[in-house]
């Protein structure tokens, strides 16, 4: 843990730097895998699944019997919890639907905007020690609401060639019918190009390690969109003397256990609170099954004291956290003033975990400062806005001359003529 008192602004850039794990030749590895998947399809998927996941598969598509078996394995209490989360996520994302926007900009000139679903989307769901079945809810539910025609899911198999049963159960619950046992770079490549078994898609969603992150960004070179350039998870908490140090410690650790390259930051206008939170973290760490991971992430943590709320808020907006918890009595000041954050959690009874699972908001959020430019995943992430216009005879007369003058000024005389020829007929 690093404690910093009233840092000077010229040092903020260094403080807000994320602890990204450096892996040599990531892009060269991604390029190699992409090229092979593009040329060899399923054969390349088999090769890299064997190499990276340690298993050889006869079939990479999950069958109905596997889904049924997963349904039998998942316990009733977990199913009920997933249902609660699903209903809340469905309610929040359903409320994001918007109607057609139509306006007559000039008499005879009608313009409108309608939304259409992205036809084919791919969801990437990590497996391993933390199978993120909750991310399926966050991605498949808005995809369904948007009306995407084809939704496919890729997730890595375990050493026995199986997929975590809760992932299969949740995917089936959300109506995902095409599930493939493919992980890592090769999964992103398969969804980019398509193989004999895995369909190509127009947009790829979902988190992953640094290899997956680079692979998603590489996929954009081949006209495939991605949700956002996401990286390791992060959390910033702002606190003061009114805060509960035990709560804050638990929130910071909840993010720290994601991975060794996760980052957690505490900003406080009360130095005693910082000391109490540090003590609570050391105590709570002892009981965590993922203590080794969380401890490593805590090494990259920052505990920053500011002697005024204005500087604290300015720093928070400079950092642009993925998750931002307001644990301060001055919560209105921070909630009104924050402009760079993926998702905001207000008050002592609003843990970040609620947004990860069951409150209803989406947990697929921008990291690494991208909250300054990107929104988290929402219903619109699965939609495109298409504009329409219809111009009457009177309408083209009203705006025709303006179009002619502007086109001529830009030297685009064919543009001008497309209007002139119509006005000539009318007159």
Question: Domains of the chain by range and CATH?
Answer: 2-20+231-359 (3.40.50.1980), 26-226 (3.40.50.1980), 392-426 (no CATH)
The pLDDT profile of the chain, 427 residues, written as one tens digit per residue, is 789 999 999 999 999 988 765 666 789 999 999 999 999 999 999 999 999 999 999 999 999 999 999 999 999 999 999 999 999 999 999 999 999 999 999 999 999 999 999 999 999 999 877 789 999 999 999 999 999 999 999 999 999 999 999 999 999 999 999 999 999 999 999 999 999 999 999 999 999 888 999 999 999 999 999 999 887 889 999 999 999 999 999 999 999 998 888 999 999 999 999 999 999 999 999 999 999 999 998 988 999 999 999 999 999 999 999 999 999 999 999 999 999 999 999 999 999 999 999 999 999 999 999 999 999 999 999 999 999 999 999 999 999 999 999 999 999 999 999 999 999 999 8
User: By 3-state DSSP, what share of the chain in percent is helix, strand and coil, each rounded to 5?
Assistant: 50, 15, 35
Determine the 3-state secondary structure of 85 from DSSP: helix
**Has 373 been labeled as part of a binding site?**
no
CA-wise closest residue to 344 among 203, 207, 236: 236
**Has 410 been labeled as part of a binding site?**
yes
**Has 241 been labeled as part of a binding site?**
no
Which strands, in side-by-side order, build the sheet including 383-391? 101-106, 109-117, 383-391
CA triple 324-330-333, angle to 5 deg = 70
Determine the 3-state secondary structure of 163 from DSSP: coil
* Alpha-carbon gap, residue 263 to 20, rounded angstroms: 9
**Has 186 been labeled as part of a binding site?**
yes
**Has 356 been labeled as part of a binding site?**
yes
DSSP 237: E
Q: 């502007």: which residue's tokens?
A: 406
CA-wise closest residue to 143 among 205, 193, 91: 205
**Has 255 been labeled as part of a binding site?**
yes
- Tokens found for residue 192: 């980019």
**Has 209 been labeled as part of a binding site?**
yes
**Has 330 been labeled as part of a binding site?**
no
DSSP 6: S
* Alpha-carbon gap, residue 376 to 321, rounded angstroms: 12
DSSP 376: P
pLDDT at 288: 93
Task: Provide the annotated active-site residues.
Answer: 322-323
**β-pair partners for 388:** 112
133-146 vs 76-94: helix crossing angle, rounded to 10: 40
Specify the pTM.
Answer: 0.94
């Amino acid at each position: 843990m690093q404690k910093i008192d009233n840092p000077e602004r010229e040092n903020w850039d260094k403080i807000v730097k994320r602890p990204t794990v450096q892996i040599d030749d990531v892009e060269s590895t991604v390029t190699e895998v992409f090229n092979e998947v593009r040329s060899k399809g399923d054969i390349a998927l088999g090769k890299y699944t064997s190499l990276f996941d340690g298993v050889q598969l006869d079939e990479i598509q999950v069958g109905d019997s596997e889904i049924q078996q997963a349904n039998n394995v998942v316990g009733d209490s977990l199913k009920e919890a997933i249902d609660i989360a699903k209903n809340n996520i469905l309610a929040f994302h359903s409320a994001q639907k918007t109607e057609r926007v139509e306006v007559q900009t000039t008499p005879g000139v009608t313009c409108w905007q309608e939304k259409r679903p992205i036809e084919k989307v791919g969801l990437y769901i990590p497996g391993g020690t933390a199978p993120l079945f909750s991310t399926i809810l966050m991605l498949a539910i808005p995809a369904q609401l948007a009306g995407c025609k084809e939704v496919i899911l890729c997730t890595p198999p375990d050493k026995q060639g199986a997929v975590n049963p809760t992932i299969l159960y949740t995917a089936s619950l959300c109506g995902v019918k095409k599930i493939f046992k493919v992980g890592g770079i090769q999964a992103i490549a398969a969804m980019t190009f398509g193989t004999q078994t895995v369909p190509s898609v127009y947009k790829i969603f979902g988190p992953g390690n640094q290899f997956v992150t680079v692979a998603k960004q590489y996929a954009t070179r081949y006209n495939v969109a991605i949700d956002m350039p996401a990286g390791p998870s992060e959390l910033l908490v702002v606190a003061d003397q009114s805060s509960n140090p035990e709560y804050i410690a638990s929130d910071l650790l909840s993010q720290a256990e994601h991975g060794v390259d996760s980052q957690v930051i505490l900003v406080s206008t009360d130095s005693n609170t910082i000391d109490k939170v540090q003590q609570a973290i050391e105590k709570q760490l002892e009981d965590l099954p993922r203590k080794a991971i969380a401890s490593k992430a805590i090494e990259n943590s920052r505990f920053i004291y500011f002697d005024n709320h204005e500087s604290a808020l300015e720093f928070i907006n400079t950092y642009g956290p993925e998750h931002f918890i307001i644990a301060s009595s001055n919560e209105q000041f921070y909630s009104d003033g924050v402009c760079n954050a993926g998702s905001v959690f207000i008050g002592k009874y609003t843990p970040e975990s609620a947004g990860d699972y069951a409150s209803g908001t989406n947990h697929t959020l921008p990291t690494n400062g991208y909250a300054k430019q990107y929104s988290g995943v929402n219903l619109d992430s699965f939609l495109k806005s298409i504009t329409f216009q219809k111009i009457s005879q009177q309408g083209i007369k009203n705006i025709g001359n303006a179009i002619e003058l502007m086109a001529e000024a830009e030297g685009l005389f064919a543009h001008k003529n497309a209007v002139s020829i119509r006005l000539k007929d009318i007159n």
